[in-house]
Structure 1
Amino acid sequence: MPTPSLETLAAWIRTESPTHDSAGVNRMMDLAAAQARGAPIAVERVPGRQGLGDALVLRAGPQTAEPAILLLVHLDTVHPVGTIDRELPLRIEGDRLYGPGVYDMKGGAFLALEAFKDVARAGTATRPLVLLVTPDEEIGSPTSRELIEDHARRAAYALVAEPARDGGRIVTARSGIGRFDVEVRGRAAHAGTRHRDGRNAIHEAARQIATIEAMTDYERGITTAVCMIEAGTAVNTVPALCRFSVDLRIASAAQGDELASAILGLEAIAPDFEVHVEGGLNRPPYDRTEEIDRLFAHARGLAAVLGIDLASVPRVGGGSDGNFTAALGVPTLDGLGIDGDGAHTHHEHGLVSSIEPRRHLMRRLLETL
């Protein structure tokens, strides 16, 4: 099997594609579609919505009524345009390939597409194969969730090329995710001459944040975090408005209902304030089932033949599009992408030595499921 050029992957990394830069994301879609050429792969381009980029649906293998193998990748990243010229330049240091999005998840998308092409050219698939390339995973897949779930309902298995964890281990369970926006309204006043008349929205928000943070329960697998806050108009004005966002992670659907109800039901603690909350669950929990156990055992056996000691991590807090497929009852393996570290940071890198073994493993999965 020929080794795919690292220069091709480098071109992907040079093409910066933060989620909300639809032009950059679409340039990535152009590169992926071009890379599929020369193999018996049907390429469908799905126009973007809500100002986001396009999606690609690639099909190969026998086109029968047999349930497909669904392979999921995304080409959007979290790094703003210009990161490659400043904080995270493209470079190789030993086995480490640095660059924005290389670990999460252009490296995984690259090796998944190469494996998909290998199987398409060899004609060794026994089921229809669908590779879905999405533009908005990093913000919760608002425009691609419907597409993912539609294909998942017609799939026998789902494979997700998100990055490997902790030295190459794959993912078989993920937390569910909720996102909420909270707005606190008080009353503006001069901070010196009319302090008594003011109702400080930041102060009330602090009380609300303490309530929200207290919902964290590590034993139950529940975390809450206020990660962004916006307030104030001037240094000498009691602020009338404060907005903040809430990140919720839960281990079960019942916890999601419980915590979402609690957050959406927040009320003002002090008098003369108003509290408004919007949002809800963004991704359902991804639970490890008996079917996923069997799928993992199959993957572990294939990996052993390739000289890979494949292991899985416990439930991880981060979500992926695998949450959607698993919640529909589709046996799902995640974290099949590149090994490395530093997702979403300025030391993000992938391990070059992991690309070929994991490409081979992906190929064997596509051929044997």
Structure 2
Amino acid sequence: MSQILNYLKENESNILDTLLRLTKAESPSHNKVLVDQCGEILRNEYESFIGHEVECIEKESVGNQYKFTYSNNSESEQLLVIGHMDTVWDEGALPIKQDGDLLYGPGVFDMKGGLTITLWALKALKEFNYFGSKKIVFLVTSDEEIGSAHSKDLIIQEAKRSRAVFVPESSIEPDGAVKTERKGAGKFLLKVEGISSHAGINAWDGASAIEELAYQIIDLKKLANRDEGISINVGVVSGGTRSNVIAKEAVAEIDVRITKKDQAEVIQNQILNRPQFIAGTNIEITGEIERFPLERNEQVVELYEVFKEIAANHGYDLKEGSSGGASDGNFTSGIGVPTIDGLGPLGGGAHNESEHVYISNLPYRAALLAEALLKYMK
């Protein structure tokens, strides 16, 4: 067993304490006050553990963001670890409870468990005075669960300076596999304007926005391709006023997922350039493919093999897998920086009332990340 893993296993209860402090600092994405309070706790943990450079990036409408730097020199080349402290849970929505080896609570799996193991991975490196020719930048954002509009540019900026990117997002349940593939994602808003009229007296004088939208939905679904990994979901629709009035307006919100970067431009153009089906209606569609896929290429496989070898030395088999969900790792992979995701602890129930992590796994995932960082720091 490695020196780092031994140290972290001895500190399992202290690692749990860190996770509890972060989890109790509830941080719904839209509540800046609470997210900022969580950020202060994260900052305090880092400064007490590491004491190296901390930069707070202040934001007006979302929580402040943090850039933590681990280094003993001013080398420009870096490794990047990215995470987020915001969660999908409103304050008080989930209880925090421990049941044997399981800890339940808002964000324990997605992704305060990942923040915790990163803090302790860096603490372990500092404990043994492990430094290298590359610095480690730990970037923590505050709006990932609501699209990362306030952090995307910062993430890409730091990724461009980085040799590789490590994302301690939630692992793949049930066996804790890391993510070597993620789908890309896009959001679109389709608005239809029709001509309203009385559905009985002037039934043929109107042009129904709802009927046009129905045709649009059927046509959009034709773009989906299971074999190519392209999915189209019209998740929200609204329109009309009363059953006896031909609808003047209708709206649909569309979610698109892709598996290959070269699919993005094609599918985006097909969605934005819509045919008209009902005379008298007008169509307006906005949106874009916001995140390119994290594709399983040679660079990703090389990263995975490093983690797999470390895990084997720790006594277990680390598996890999893919996810239909997107993360901030899509941004870094999308610009060609080697990225591996799903490095967070073993657990499950992301965005679910059963959200949990396995406490005994926390030292193992912290050691896994620490030793991988150490390898790439040299």
Which residue is equivalent to 1:47?
A: 58
- Residues 1:136 and 2:143 are matched in the alignment: yes
- Residues 1:111 and 2:117 are matched in the alignment: yes
Which residue is equivalent to 2:31?
A: 21
Structure 2: state its 5+ residue gaps. 1-6
Q: 1:262 to 1:65 in 2, by over 3 A?
A: same
Which residue is equivalent to 1:308?
A: 316
After TM superposition, give the deviation of residue 239 of structure 1 in Å.
Answer: 2.6
Question: Residues of 2 paired with 1:329 and 1:233: CA distance?
Answer: 48
- Answer whether contact 1:40 1:121 (CA < 8 A) is retained: no
Which residue is equivalent to 1:161?
A: 168
TM-score, normalisation: structure 2: 0.90
Amino acid at match of 2:111: M
- Residues 1:352 and 2:359 are matched in the alignment: yes
* Shift >6 Å, 4+ stretches: none
Which residue is equivalent to 1:239?
A: 247
Deviates more, 1:186-195 or 1:357-366: 186-195
After TM superposition, give the deviation of residue 151 of structure 1 in Å.
Answer: 1.0
Question: Residues of 1 paired with 2:16 and 2:246: CA distance?
Answer: 56
Which residue is equivalent to 1:289?
A: 297
- Residues 1:338 and 2:349 are matched in the alignment: no
After TM superposition, give the deviation of residue 233 of structure 1 in Å.
Answer: 3.2
Question: Residues of 2 paired with 1:98 and 1:191: CA distance?
Answer: 54
Question: Residues of 1 paired with 2:131 and 2:308: CA distance?
Answer: 19
Question: Residues of 2 paired with 1:267 and 1:349: CA distance?
Answer: 46
Question: Residues of 2 paired with 1:7 and 1:235: CA distance?
Answer: 57
Question: Residues of 2 paired with 1:354 and 1:122: CA distance?
Answer: 21
Structure 1: state its 5+ residue gaps. none
Question: Residues of 1 paired with 2:200 and 2:350: CA distance?
Answer: 46
- Residues 1:93 and 2:99 are matched in the alignment: yes
Question: Residues of 1 paired with 2:87 and 2:165: CA distance?
Answer: 22
- Answer whether contact 2:291 2:334 (CA < 8 A) is retained: no
- Answer whether contact 2:207 2:278 (CA < 8 A) is retained: no
| SS of match in other structure, 1:26 | helix
Give the number of equivalent residue pairs. 363
Which residue is equivalent to 1:72?
A: 82
Amino acid at match of 1:181: L
| SS of match in other structure, 2:237 | strand
Question: Residues of 1 paired with 2:27 and 2:196: CA distance?
Answer: 41
Which residue is equivalent to 1:8?
A: 18
Amino acid at match of 1:348: E
- Residues 1:151 and 2:158 are matched in the alignment: yes
Question: Residues of 2 paired with 1:25 and 1:61: CA distance?
Answer: 27
After TM superposition, give the deviation of residue 40 of structure 1 in Å.
Answer: 2.7
| SS of match in other structure, 1:70 | strand
| SS of match in other structure, 1:271 | coil
Deviates more, 1:268-277 or 1:323-332: 323-332
Question: Residues of 1 paired with 2:144 and 2:270: CA distance?
Answer: 27
Question: Residues of 1 paired with 2:250 and 2:53: CA distance?
Answer: 50
- Residues 1:329 and 2:340 are matched in the alignment: no
Question: Residues of 1 paired with 2:65 and 2:345: CA distance?
Answer: 22
| SS of match in other structure, 2:190 | strand
- Answer whether contact 2:15 2:120 (CA < 8 A) is retained: no
Question: Residues of 2 paired with 1:196 and 1:321: CA distance?
Answer: 50
Question: Residues of 2 paired with 1:155 and 1:33: CA distance?
Answer: 22
After TM superposition, give the deviation of residue 303 of structure 1 in Å.
Answer: 1.1
- Residues 1:189 and 2:197 are matched in the alignment: yes
What is the Cα-based RMSD across aligned positions, in Å? Answer: 1.8
- Answer whether contact 1:111 1:359 (CA < 8 A) is retained: yes
- Answer whether contact 2:167 2:329 (CA < 8 A) is retained: yes
Question: Residues of 1 paired with 2:299 and 2:286: CA distance?
Answer: 36
1:250-302 deviations in whole A, cap 9, x for unaligned? 12222111110010011321111111001111101212222222221111111
Q: 1:80 to 1:244 in 2, by over 3 A?
A: farther
- Residues 1:277 and 2:285 are matched in the alignment: yes
Please point out which of 247, 259, 263 is paired with 1:255.
263
| SS of match in other structure, 2:227 | helix
- Answer whether contact 2:121 2:369 (CA < 8 A) is retained: yes
1:288-344 deviations in whole A, cap 9, x for unaligned? 22222222111111111111211111x322111111212222221110002222211
Question: Residues of 1 paired with 2:272 and 2:293: CA distance?
Answer: 19
| SS of match in other structure, 1:177 | strand
Amino acid at match of 2:19: L
Please point out which of 103, 122, 128 is paired with 1:122.
128
TM-score, normalisation: structure 1: 0.93
Question: Residues of 2 paired with 1:144 and 1:59: CA distance?
Answer: 17
Amino acid at match of 1:93: D
Taking only the aligned residue pairs, the percentage that are identical comes to: 33
- Answer whether contact 1:116 1:366 (CA < 8 A) is retained: no
After TM superposition, give the deviation of residue 179 of structure 1 in Å.
Answer: 1.1
